[in-house]
Structure 1
Amino acid sequence: MENNDNNSGNARRAFLQKTAIGGIGLVLAPSLISSSLNDSETSEINSTKKEKMNTRKLGKLEVSAFGAGCMSISANYGAPANPEEGIKTIRTAYEKGVTFFDTAEVYGPYTNETLVGEALSPFRDKISIATKFGFQIGASEITLNSRPEHIKKVVEESLKRLRTDRIDLLYQHRVDPNVPIEDVAGAVKDLIQEGKVLHFGLSEANTQTIRKAHAVQSVSAIQSEYSFMERSVEKNGVLDLCEELGIGFVPWGPLGMGYLTGKLNAQSSFDSKLDLRSAFDRFTPESLAANMPIVNLLNRFASNKNATSSQIALAWLMAKKPFIVSIAGTRNTPHLTENLGAYDIQLTTAEFQELETEFSKLKVYGGRMNPMQMTFCQ
C-alpha cells in the first residue's frame, strides 16, 4: 500500500509539472456548488456605494487602472478557497472601483469561470471580463488546441459558465505551433463580428506572432509575466511593440507570484499536488533566499511611503507605462485592500529612477518557470 501511494503521488506531481504551464491553472479543483442570489441580495449588491478609480485603455477597451486576477481563488496556489469567500473578494473589488476581472477556462479547470460568473452577474454590464482559450482539457492530460472550431466551442461553454452573452476580452492562452496565428485571429474576428467577443488578446506571445495576429484582427492586450523582478518583456521587445501598436499590456504575476509580498522565505513550502510554484526554479529554497535583496529593496522604499513591498511593486508597474493594467490575484479581502492601496502611492521621477538603478545592481536567481513549461512561451 505504501509503495502504491508513493507511486500515485509521484504520478500526480509529474502531471502537475507537465501541465501547470506558467499560471494556466491546471490543478484540478472540486466542483463549485453554485448559490443562487435572491432578489434582496441582488438589490443590496447593486445599491452598494461604489468607489471610483481612474481608467486605462487596453487598445480600445477601457478598464479600471487596476484589475483583479481571479485564478488563485480556485487553483494553483494551494487548495481552492471557499467559494463564498472568493465571491465576496470579487464583489469587494468591484465595490472598490475594479471593473476588470481575469479568468480562464483552464483555471480549475472550469470552476473559476463558474465562480467569476456568479460573483459578477449582479453588475455584469458595469464591468469587463477577460477569459482565455487554447487548451484541450482531458481527464488526465491537457494539450494545446487553438483550432478555429475548438475556439468557437470553448467560447460557447465559457459564455454559459460566465452567465453572459459576450466576452469583453478573449485571449489565446498559449500560442499553438500547429495552428497559424492568422487562423486563430480569423476565428476570433468571426466571434467579434457575431458579438460574442468584443476584444482580442494574446498571452506569452513573441513580437512576430503579435504582428501577424494584429494584421488580421486588432489585438487589444498582451498578457505575459511581468513584475519588478521579472523583466523579460523589457528585453524581448514585447513591451515596446505594445507601445508602438497601441496595445495594452496586462502583467500576470505582478507580485512575483507572491514573492514580492515579503511573506515568503527559504523555509516556505509548496504543495506539489496543489501549488504550481513547487515546480518553479525561482521557488526553491536556494532561490528564495538568494532573491531576498529584491524584497529588501522594495521594503526600503515602502518604509518611506508608509506602504508595503507589494504596494511599491504594483506602484512601480503603474508608473512604468500608462497602458499597463496589473491583475494582482488574491483570495481574501485584506490582501485585496492592501493591493489596491498601491493606487494611492505616487512614485516621483527620482524615486522611480532610484528603484531602477538599485535593481540593476541585483541578480535574479532561478528561471521563472521550468524548461518544459517555458517551451509553451514564445
Structure 2
Amino acid sequence: MPADGTRPLAGRAVWPVGFGCMGISWAYGPAMADDDAVRLLHRALDLGYRHFDTAALYGGGLSETLLGRALVGSRDEVLIASKVGLFARGGARGIDGRPETIRAGCDVSLRRLGVDHIDLFYLHRLDPEVPVEESVGALADLVAAGKIGAIGLSEVSAPTLRRAVAVHPIAAVQTEYSPWSRNAEIAVMEVCRDLGVAFVAFSPLGRGVLAGRIDDPATLDRSDIRRHMPRFSPANWPGNRDLAGDFASLAEVWGVTPAQLSLAWVLSRGPHVHAIPGTTSLAHLAENAKAGVLEVPEDVIDRIDWLFDPTAVNGPRYPADVQAGIGTEEFS
C-alpha cells in the first residue's frame, strides 16, 4: 500500500474511504434538496474524497445527475463509479443484465453524469436469465469503445467472479460488508485478493447501526428501506441493538467514534479493501474521512471478530424476495 495511504482501484490511487451516493437521493428517507446534496458533495471533495459511487437505481437516476452537477470542474480529480442492471418500477425491483440493456444504460448514465466516460462501471446484480459471460462481454465492449474505464461486479459469488474474469479483467467487486455483515469472508473477499481485484464494501457502517445512529427502527421514515429489512424487525432488533451498544462501548474505550471503528475494521481486512459509507451530514462526512488513517490494534480487531461472530447477528440481510436476486455466498 502506498505511503500516502491511498489504495489502487480501477487503475487509480484513491483514498480508501470513498463516498456512497445512494442516500442523497434514495433508500434512507426523503431525498436531499438538490442544492444541499451538491454542497455535501463539494465538501467531500474538500475533505479529500476522490472515489464517488452511484447507480442508475438511486432515485431513478437523480443521484447520477446530482453527482455530475457537483463534479463540474473537478472531473479529472475523481474516480466515478456507477452501476447498471438493477431498477425499481412501481415499488418493485427488477434485474436486467442483457447486453442491449447494459449498452443503453451506459449511455443514459453518461448523459446524467455529464461525462464522456465512467471510470468504473458495475453490473449491479447478476441476472439469473443471462450468463455472466454475456453481461461482462457487453461491458468489455464498452471498455473497448472508451465509454467505461473498468468493469465491476456487485453482490456476486466467488465462482461467478472467476467466470467473469475469464472473459475480461474485473477491477472491483462490491458487496455489503461490515462487522455485522461478514458473508464476503466465506469466499469472495479472498478470491478478490488472489485475482488482484479490489473489494469495495458498501454499507460499511451496518446500515447506520454501527455508527450509533438508530435507536428505534419504528421511528425511521416510512420510505426508509430499513423498515422492511429483517434485522430491523421487532423480533430481531433488540438483540442487534445490544450488539451495537457493545460495539459503541468498544469504540469509546479506544477513543474513536463507532463509525470510525467500523470503517477502520473494514479497511484492516486487506490492502485491496475500500469502503464507501454514505451520509447526508457534513459532520459525519468529516468523521468518516478520518477513518482512513486509523490502524486498529490487534486486540480490538479480535474483540470485534468475537463480538460479531456471524451467528450472533439476528436476522438475514434482506427479505426473501430481495435475497433471491443476491449472488453472494451467505451463512446458514
Q: TM-score range by the shorter chain?
A: over 0.9
Cα distance in 1, alignment partners of residues 91 and 215 from structure 2:
33
Cα distance in 2, alignment partners of residues 217 and 92 from structure 1:
36
Question: Which residue among 170, 173, 177 is the counterpart of 1:226?
Answer: 177
Q: Secondary structure, in 3 states, of the residue corresponding to 1:320?
A: coil
- Other-structure match for 1:254: 204
8 Å CA contact retained: 1:74, 1:111: yes
Cα distance in 2, alignment partners of residues 342 and 149 from structure 1:
40
Question: Which residue among 251, 263, 277 is the counterpart of 1:302?
Answer: 251
- Other-structure match for 2:98: 147
Cα distance in 2, alignment partners of residues 300 and 270 from structure 1:
24
CA spacing shift, 1:178–1:350, aligned 2, 3 Å:
same
Q: Secondary structure, in 3 states, of the residue corresponding to 1:91?
A: helix
Cα distance in 1, alignment partners of residues 195 and 214 from structure 2:
38
Question: Which residue among 66, 80, 84 is the counterpart of 1:115?
Answer: 66
Tell me if 1:265 matches 2:220: no
Q: Which has the larger displacement, 128-137 or 238-247?
A: 128-137
Question: Which residue among 284, 288, 300 is the counterpart of 1:339?
Answer: 288
CA spacing shift, 1:78–1:194, aligned 2, 3 Å:
same
1:266-288 deviation per Cα after TM superposition (whole angstroms, max 9, x unaligned): 4642334x211111111113322
Question: Which residue among 246, 252, 269 is the counterpart of 1:320?
Answer: 269
TM superposition shift of 1:128: 0.5
The one-letter amino acid of 1:255's match is: L
Q: Which has the larger displacement, 135-144 or 357-366?
A: 135-144
Alpha-carbon RMSD = 1.9
Question: Which residue among 206, 225, 231 is the counterpart of 1:282?
Answer: 231
Q: Secondary structure, in 3 states, of the residue corresponding to 1:329?
A: coil
Q: Which has the larger displacement, 338-347 or 184-193?
A: 338-347
* Structure-1-length-normalised TM-score: 0.82
Tell me if 1:369 matches 2:318: yes
Structure 1 unmatched runs, 5+: 1-51
8 Å CA contact retained: 2:182, 2:310: no
TM superposition shift of 1:97: 1.1
Structure 2 unmatched runs, 5+: 328-332
Question: Which residue among 60, 68, 83 is the counterpart of 2:34?
Answer: 83
1:271-320 deviation per Cα after TM superposition (whole angstroms, max 9, x unaligned): 34x21111111111332221123222322222223211111111101111
8 Å CA contact retained: 1:146, 1:179: yes
8 Å CA contact retained: 2:50, 2:77: yes
- Other-structure match for 2:121: 170
TM superposition shift of 1:146: 1.3
TM superposition shift of 1:141: 5.0
Aligned residues: 325
Report the structure number with the largest CA radius of gyration: 1
TM superposition shift of 1:53: 6.4
The one-letter amino acid of 2:59's match is: G
Cα distance in 1, alignment partners of residues 89 and 255 from structure 2:
48
1:198-252 deviation per Cα after TM superposition (whole angstroms, max 9, x unaligned): 01000011111111111111111111111111111112x1111111111111111
The one-letter amino acid of 2:190's match is: D
